[in-house]
Amino acid sequence: MSTFVDYELSDAKWFSFEELMAPWTSDPLLEPVLSRAIHFKRRAQIQFTTTGSRSPRLEVLLQLIRDGSTISEELEAAAISVRRSSDPNMSSHQQLTTFNGMFEVSTKTTEAIVRSLYRTVRYRVVELVRGLVARIGDGEDYSASCEFDSQVCSSEELAMILEQIHGDICAVLGLDPEHHAGDDNQGLAHRVFGMFFPITVLMFSSSAGEEKRVWFQEKLRCMGEKTGLGLATWAAQKWNSHLCIPC
């Protein structure tokens, strides 16, 4: 998850994961769709750092845009497919685990958390695709840029994903009037930790808009103070110091 919060390249870390051999597993360390998303992010960010004679060829950018669009669709399919068990008596080892095996989808809360995690990765993928489309527009082939801008990963799609994640954050953290959480803080730390990644990614995303970013920052700060989750409080403070915007 950190690779989608960190807007810098982190090749060394992921190369280490990809090359890791362990006697306790013969499967990939990353869920395939998440692995593809990480590979895409790495390939896309390289294109943003090349200049001059090393500028990417048009066909490379076009293929990256197509790949990113496909991964975006796969992530949405993964989000939609998340369903909790209909049997409340099912034992833990029989529960469906998802998002790289991190969560047992046994309640409506974990269902919403996992759904928002997939969509948060999708949000970053769409941001990168839009950046690649803009990269084409900076060159000479404006027709290709306009074609992709109107067909894939539009600003409306990005806004839709943002609202989906926002809705899940409200539901999971009891910020929605229709979500009858009341003042009951039972399990709140778990819920805040589960939604930490979605909130943090959107809080640092320029595409989210300042109003939404301030909203995310304030909610993260309050939840961090309420639960004692220092990571949440630290992230909220880091956002303030980074943008020099007072609480």
Q: What is the pLDDT of residue 135?
A: 80
Q: Can you read off the two tokens belonging to residue 215?
A: 């909203």
Q: What is the pLDDT of residue 77?
A: 95
Question: What are φ and ψ of residue 98, in 5° steps?
Answer: -150, 180
Helix axes 210-227, 155-172, angle to 10 degrees: 20
Contact predicate 119/201, CB 8 Å? no
Name the residue ranges covered by the structural domains of the chain. 29-150, 154-176+184-239
Q: What is the pLDDT of residue 183?
A: 44
Q: Over its length of 247 residues, how does the chain's per-residue pLDDT go in tens digits?
A: 666 665 454 555 555 655 555 555 555 677 889 989 988 998 898 888 776 555 667 888 889 999 999 999 999 999 999 887 655 566 555 567 888 888 888 888 889 999 999 999 999 999 999 888 888 766 555 455 555 555 556 788 888 999 999 999 988 988 876 654 444 555 888 888 889 889 888 888 888 888 888 888 888 888 888 887 776 666 767 666 555 433 3
Q: What is the pLDDT of residue 123?
A: 93
Q: What is the pLDDT of residue 207?
A: 82
Contacts 24+ apart (CB under 8 A), 28-33: 30/100, 31/99, 31/100, 31/101, 33/71, 33/74, 33/75, 33/78
Question: What are φ and ψ of residue 3, in 5° steps?
Answer: -65, -20
Q: What is the pLDDT of residue 69?
A: 92
- Among the listed residues 183, 180, 181, 216, the one whose alpha carbon sits nearest the alpha carbon of residue 197: 216
